[in-house]
Structure 1
Amino acid sequence: MPLFKIIYLSKNAKLYLWKITEDFDTLFNRVNLKDSSLARLETMKSESHRKGFLAVRMLLQHNDYNDFDLYYDKFGKPHIKSQGCSIKDVHISISHSNDFSAVVISDENIGLDIEILKEKTLKIAPRFMGISHLENLNKEEKIKKATVVWGIKESIFKIKNEKGISFPDHIFEDDFNFEDKKASATLKFNDKEEKFQIQFDSIEDYIFVCAFENIK
């Protein structure tokens, strides 16, 4: 399937979604991979992960980038090489869950997470969030809200990418209503307090969450 959807998060940030309906060989034959990516692909045992990896490269190609423009720093955070004479930094965040791969490209530092809705997230919610946020909700609402909270913490972690950050101990989301599709959160770590703005929404049976650093 071609590109599924583009979501304009702000004037400087776009989210691209690829719904994976192709088989592995179809995706593999449509992307050009560097040797290190081929080696990484060969280590993946899950067919879903392998196709998700390739679908991300399809999204790069849609944006006139390719696998050779993508690199990871020593902490595993993805980056895009500057093209031509552009002096603007281009930030990228990547996520994959089951049938969807997602990439957000932005002039701002940004974190992205996409998750399929599942009961397991609700079962493990006490491990990563204050369950007071789930009071007075029915089961479906609890699953959705717990998934958003997980995405908030995951997307902030992707921005900071610092060893030692704990989801329950260092990342705190303010209470929010699912219908607002916006939230705020705070990272308290290493004697610093940093604020983040959050955007989220549902796509079919999935939730995507994007975190932006507050610019002072």
Structure 2
Amino acid sequence: MPLYKTITPNSETIVKIWKITESFDDLMQMVNLKPKSLERVLSMKSELHQRGFLSVRCLLKAFGYEDVDLHYDENGKPYLNDGKYISITHSFNFSAVIISDTIIGIDIEKQRDKITVIAHKFIDYEFNYLDKNASDYINKLTLIWCIKESLYKLFATPGLSFIQHCLVIPVSDNEQETVAWIDYEEKKQRYNIQFLEFEGFTCAYAIA
């Protein structure tokens, strides 16, 4: 079982990361899927997505849950039978699940140069402190994307804009946490962000 890492940000929250090394068939043998989930995974055209989907169910088992305990609301936000909060992500050969007693969101992304092409679509204020010539520019862009995606998952409100409503405070060198804000209509909320980098990937999670 390639459980890559377990993190405990606080007494109410646990993050588990899975490195996907198994084949589709091996992963299928490791999980018990409800009929709806089985139909969904078999309809996926990409084996990479299939393995990501199944690895998330393996992570659920590592938490003590089964696929039958996981559901999605009308906005696509996952929730658990027991009322605990959950957020899910996967990118290429890594997946992660965060479960907490408080509202949370998580995202993993591979660090790739192509993120510079779409940076203008999710960054505004943050350009004020980013250095395009810095050696870690790609990493910083990827981190900001991960943070805003985790906020989007946490907030789960149609119409939320990465540029207009999500604000990421600069991260100091050698730090693995920062603060982000959502300013949406009448709601203004501050979130604590923690993050890590590994094997060319970035993972960030937001905690209310």
Band the TM-score falls in, shorter-chain normalisation:
over 0.9
Which residue is 2:46 aligned to?
46
Give me the whole-angstrom Cα distance separating, in 2, the residues matched to 1:210 and 1:196: 10
Q: Kindly report which structure 2 residues correspond to 1:39-188, keeping only aligned pairs within 5 A, or say none.
A: 39-82=39-82, 89-130=83-124, 131-135=127-131, 137-139=133-135, 141-188=136-183
Give me the whole-angstrom Cα distance separating, in 1, the residues matched to 2:146 and 2:128: 17
Q: How much is the aligned-residue C-alpha RMSD, in angstroms?
A: 1.3
- Unaligned 5+ runs, structure 1: 83-88
- Which amino acid in the other structure matches residue 101 of structure 2? D
Q: Secondary structure at the match of 1:113?
A: strand
Give me the whole-angstrom Cα distance separating, in 2, the residues matched to 1:133 and 1:49: 35
Tell me if structure 1 keeps the 8 A contact 2:98–2:106. yes
User: Alpha-carbon deviation of 1:26?
Assistant: 0.4
User: Alpha-carbon deviation of 1:122?
Assistant: 2.3
Tell me if structure 2 keeps the 8 A contact 1:145–1:178. no
Give me the whole-angstrom Cα distance separating, in 1, the residues matched to 2:156 and 2:77: 7
TM-score (norm 1): 0.91
Residue by residue, what CA displacement relative to the aligned partner does 1:50-89 show, whole Å, maximum 9, x if unpaired?
000000000111111000000111111001111xxxxxx4
Residue by residue, what CA displacement relative to the aligned partner does 1:137-163 show, whole Å, maximum 9, x if unpaired?
524x11111111001110011011111
TM-score (norm 2): 0.95
Instruction: Give % identity.
Output: 40
- Unaligned 5+ runs, structure 2: none
